[in-house]
Structure 1
């Protein structure tokens, strides 16, 4: 039976949850008749459901033996063991955390993703469009993962590099007629220069101080774009940005959507390949060493200045490329497309997927971008469900969907690694 203290705690949780959801779930304003509709049944439903779930959760917390028995039912299942073997690392994990898989499993996973991505556009234009957006966020998430996940540099102004890439294509095309394929490397290079310009003054900053400075950099970039009317046309933005060309062939609307989608797939694949190679390179190991202990890595001979600037530069490059693709896809950009919320979403993708994990960032981007779209059928409740799922995820899996695995070098009996 439940203890009286546990019941009291569950009641407090239910009351607190009712208080938080009261303005959304209970009060409804009818603007036509100028009246307020009180939906008291929603309040009682929320209270009962929250109270019941809280009691169930506390029961499983108290009865550890029952939890182990339930976990054993899953782990002893042959199908579950095979799934865990696919998702887990080549070495066993005692904590039960899903970690980065072995290189062979990763190649199979990426291969299946590519096959599904190539076949997907034949569904419909709407599905193709939202998946194109998700792929752009995959590129952005993997780029930010270099600075946050590998180097441990908390970056809250990442959207600034995204804006640099988008405005590079829009302005060069408007004033000089530069095409998409020329603007892709130029947007990446210009964003890289901005990344280095940001990295130089923040070399000595860490943690919250670094986050505040990068946040200010992002806002400065947006405000500059909003007020520089002579160059960027200010809040009005830049319209009629041409779509990517295909050897001068005129494409229909549906063909253009599919073409942009396949471009996003190609750029996402290149980003995955580049970040994977970076992780296993000398630069990647230096970034991870700096993330763990900056003083110790500097004592081991790592140039911290060069390593930090490399992290900012590489991270900004992929944001610039994604910005060019975004401008080509939408055909219109303005400063309101690059607010702080975009940086928050990209950072959430990295944290939700698992910092330092390539597979995790891909899954996180697909969930964070596609889930709100597919929840549109539930109307005003979709963001409530979305926020609740994020909170639950952070409570039960704070390390992310797929946590990064640390490489361990062992010496065998023969004395070789």
Structure 2
């Protein structure tokens, strides 16, 4: 959260980002060709660029989900899960905690940068005010609500919070109060997220 605010203030102060004016007139994505074969066409030449962005976003979502699923079920993923359970115990059996933290940060930064690039291409303009601490809090809530221990957790949390907030719009001035109350209750009742409901509990003998 602190890093988010630091970056936003730097973007306001640095001349390379044009301060509060931001960066505008960002061109649409150009064509991507591999060995003469056009994989992604030039968006500027398309009649329906919104549909093209939608298809691109869906493709990236499926691709990122597949990569994350494979990563979580790999050796590195299992080691990262051991850190989530007990860092001291994992370190005592020879797990390199610092190395795994760097790997996790690098993977998160890669996917975050990919999403940011698509966001800038779609909006064709970007401002420091586009990135606030509130957004970072919402991103974390998405992950917590869906379930940190599940690859599909952030996706489910995003869907529930996005449509849930719109449904609560009918409550008027009580919208934020009800929203916050429900979030607190869900975190107390389901600390492992909504997807933990799908995991059968073992009956005590």
Could you tell me whether the CA contact under 8 Å between 2:153 and 2:195 is conserved in 1?
yes
Q: Check 1:259–1:373 CA distance in 2 against 1; reply closer, same or farther (3 A cut).
A: farther
Alignment of 1:251 onto 2:36: no
Partner SS, residue 315 of structure 1 = helix
Alignment of 1:236 onto 2:39: no
Deviation at 1:251, TM superposition (A): 2.8
1:299-327 CA deviation, whole Å, 9 max, x = no partner?
22221221111111111111111111111
Partner of 2:158 in structure 1? 365
2:167 and 2:118 mapped to 1: Cα distance? 23
Aligned match of 2:11 in 209, 216, 225?
Answer: 225
Q: Which moved more, 1:381-390 or 1:301-310?
A: 381-390
Q: Check 1:352–1:310 CA distance in 2 against 1; reply closer, same or farther (3 A cut).
A: same
1:282 and 1:340 mapped to 2: Cα distance? 33
Partner of 2:33 in structure 1? none
Could you tell me whether the CA contact under 8 Å between 1:287 and 1:307 is conserved in 2?
yes
Could you tell me whether the CA contact under 8 Å between 2:146 and 2:153 is conserved in 1?
yes
Could you tell me whether the CA contact under 8 Å between 1:244 and 1:260 is conserved in 2?
no
Could you tell me whether the CA contact under 8 Å between 1:353 and 1:361 is conserved in 2?
yes
1:225-258 CA deviation, whole Å, 9 max, x = no partner?
1100x20001111112223345236234xx2222
Could you tell me whether the CA contact under 8 Å between 2:28 and 2:121 is conserved in 1?
yes
1:39-58 CA deviation, whole Å, 9 max, x = no partner?
xxxxxxxxxxxxxxxxxxxx
Partner of 1:308 in structure 2? 101
Q: Check 1:251–1:374 CA distance in 2 against 1; reply closer, same or farther (3 A cut).
A: farther
Q: Check 1:380–1:330 CA distance in 2 against 1; reply closer, same or farther (3 A cut).
A: farther
Q: Which runs of 5+ in 1 are unaligned?
A: 1-156, 158-214, 406-417
Could you tell me whether the CA contact under 8 Å between 2:27 and 2:121 is conserved in 1?
yes
Alignment size in residue pairs: 188
RMSD: 2.2
Partner of 2:82 in structure 1? 289
1:375 and 1:244 mapped to 2: Cα distance? 37
1:328 and 1:273 mapped to 2: Cα distance? 23
Could you tell me whether the CA contact under 8 Å between 1:298 and 1:304 is conserved in 2?
yes
Spell out the pairing of 1:15-94 with structure 2 (5 A cutoff): none
1:123-178 CA deviation, whole Å, 9 max, x = no partner?
xxxxxxxxxxxxxxxxxxxxxxxxxxxxxxxxxx3xxxxxxxxxxxxxxxxxxxxx
TM-score, L = length of structure 2: 0.81
Aligned match of 1:277 in 70, 78, 98?
Answer: 70
2:74 and 2:180 mapped to 1: Cα distance? 37
Point out the structure with max Rg over C-alpha: 1
Q: Check 1:374–1:241 CA distance in 2 against 1; reply closer, same or farther (3 A cut).
A: farther
2:172 and 2:28 mapped to 1: Cα distance? 32
Once superposed, which parts of structure 1, at least 4 consecutive aligned residues long, lie more than 4 Å away? 374-381
Aligned match of 2:116 in 298, 309, 323?
Answer: 323
Deviation at 1:378, TM superposition (A): 5.3
1:325 and 1:278 mapped to 2: Cα distance? 23
1:301 and 1:329 mapped to 2: Cα distance? 45
Partner of 1:6 in structure 2? none
Partner of 2:193 in structure 1? 400
TM-score, L = length of structure 1: 0.42
